[in-house]
Structure 1
Amino acid sequence: MLRAIYDWVDERLDITPIWRDVADHEVPEHVNPAHHFSAFIYCFGGLTFFVVVIQILSGMFLAMYYVPDIVNAHASVNYLQNEIAMGAIVRGMHHWGASVAIVMLFLHTLRVFFTGSYKHPREFNWVVGMLIFAVMLGLGFTGYLLPWDNKAYFATKVGVEIAASVPVLGPYIAIFLQGGDIVGAQTLARFFALHVFFLPAALLALLGAHFILIRRQGISGPL
């Protein structure tokens, strides 16, 4: 049955060359755990991507129930948490997955740095990776406010105040984040839009560039 479906799709889209190009791509020996124990440090990038996929899928589920306004936001989270089947599990996956993604990305960045994988000819990919790190931190910051409870409110308030302390541009950054002079309805709306639309779009674009560069330049050599 699956073979028939594959043949039907392949006849119309010619996906076999693409699949063969991916499946038959050789992986260097030094990233094979069967030959080198240190190869496990090369898994952090793939694990980060796996967690990001979980974040996207769980976030899509959460967005079906979340109401992004200050009157209903907290109640919608409570409803999802306590009334929807498996809601608490999915929200827990998204909540803890955010922390796991940052940790895995940090470990991946350390691996790239200490193995010298950012050097010629991979300098541009290092820059792309740093932009991915910044976007991931932005996703964590904007998502923290969405439950709209006391912890989220005051943590965001502190974060905005830190941003406001940036020389010259600080006040403008604070106004952009808050949407006004205080953390309120406009702030929640902006953080929701950033968290669900703008930052994920930037992340997907950067990940696409990251994977294309890895494919073209190959995996870096051993330490």
Structure 2
Amino acid sequence: MLRAVYKWVDERLDVTPIWRDVADHEVPEHVNPAHHFSAFIYCFGGLTFFVVMIQILSGMFLAMYYVPDIINAHASVKYLQTEVAMGTIVRGMHHWGASVAIVMLFLHTLRVFFTGSYKNPREFNWIVGVLIFFMMLGLGFTGYLLPWDNKAYFATKVGIQIAESVPFIGSYLATFLQGGDMVGATTIPRFYALHVFFLPAGLLGLLATHFILIRRQGISGPL
């Protein structure tokens, strides 16, 4: 069935050359676990991407039930966990996946640094990777408030106070994040918009750039 569908699409759009150009390329021997045990350290980037895809899919499911206002936010999360089939599992995947993604990305960044993979000609890709790291931190921060419980509220207040301490732009940054003078009714929809629209769009753009550069420059050599 799938083969017939693919053949039908391929006859009209000629997708096979595009797919082969993306997928068919040699992988260096030093990143093949069958030949080198140390090759496992090169898997953190792929694991990060895998977890990010889980975050996107689970987040799409959660967005169908979440209500971004101070009256219904916590109640909608509770309803998701108690009334929706598989809701607890999906929310758990999204909650813990956020931490796993940060850990995997941190390990990937350490691998790139200690193997010298940021050096010529990959300096620009290193910058893109650092931006991806900060984008992931932003997603974690904006998502933390959305359940609208005591822990989320006070943790967000601390985070905004840290942002407010930034020289010159701190007060403007705090006002932008809060949507006003305090964490309240305007903060949740602002964090929700950042978490669901703006930051994911930026992350996907950076990931696309990251993969294109890897494709052009190849995987870096061994230490």
Specify the TM-score bucket, using the shorter chain as the normaliser. over 0.9
TM-score (normalised: structure 2)? 0.99
Residues 43-75 of structure 1, C-alpha deviations (whole Å, 9 max, x = no match) = 000000000000000000000000000000000
CA distance in 2, matches of 1:213, 1:33: 23
- Determine if the alignment matches structure 1 residue 82 to structure 2 residue 70: no
Once residues 122 and 133 of structure 2 are traced to their aligned partners in structure 1, the CA distance between those partners, rounded to angstroms, is: 17
| Residue pairs, 1:31-46, within 5 angstroms | 31-46=31-46
Q: TM-score, normalised by structure 1?
A: 0.99
Deviation at 1:188, TM superposition (A): 0.8
Q: Could you say which residue in structure 1 is the equivalent of 2:205?
A: 205
**What residue in structure 1 maps to residue 155 of structure 2?**
155
Per the alignment, residue 179 of structure 2 pairs with 179
Structure 1 CA distance for aligned equivalents of residues 162 and 177 of structure 2: 12
One-letter amino acid of the counterpart of residue 33, structure 2: P
Query: How far does residue 128 in structure 1 lie from its aligned partner after superposition?
Result: 0.3
1:4 CA displacement: 1.5
Return the alpha-carbon distance in structure 2 between the equivalents of residues 20 and 119 of structure 1: 29
1:14 aligned onto 2:28: no
- 1:40 Cα deviation from its structure 2 partner: 0.2
Q: Which residue of 1 aligns with 2:55?
A: 55
> In the TM superposition, what is the alpha-carbon distance from 1:96 to its structure 2 partner?
0.1
Query: Deviating runs (4+, > 4 A) in structure 1?
Result: none
* CA deviation map 1:140-188 (0-9, x unaligned): 0000000000000000001001111111111111001011111001111
Looking at structure 2, the residues matched to 9 and 160 of structure 1 have their Cα atoms a distance apart, in angstroms, of 50
User: Kindly, what percent of the aligned residue pairs are identical?
Assistant: 86
Amino acid at match of 2:69: D
Q: CA deviation at 1:189?
A: 1.1
The code of the aligned residue for 2:142 comes to T
Letter in 2 for 1:19: W
Give the secondary structure class of the aligned counterpart of 2:160: helix
What are the ranges of 5 or more consecutive residues in structure 2 without an aligned counterpart? none
Amino acid at match of 2:128: V
- Residue 94 of structure 1 corresponds to 94
Between the aligned partners of 2:4 and 2:187, the Cα distance in structure 1 is: 51
User: What residue is the counterpart of 1:220 in the other structure?
Assistant: 220
Letter paired with 1:91: R
Long gaps (5+) in structure 1: none
Cα distance in structure 2, aligned partners of 1:20 and 1:133: 30
Cα separation, 1, equivalents of 2:86 and 2:177: 33
The 1-side partners of 2:167 and 2:23 are apart by 50
Aligned to 1:194: 194
Equivalent-residue separation in structure 1 for 2:113 and 2:164 (angstroms): 31
Q: Which residue of 2 aligns with 1:118?
A: 118
When the two chains are superposed, the root-mean-square deviation of aligned CA atoms in Å is 0.6
- The 3-state SS of whatever aligns with 2:186 is helix
CA-CA distance at 1:23 after TM superposition: 3.3
Count of aligned positions: 223
Corresponding position of 1:166: 166
Q: What letter is aligned with 1:48? A: T
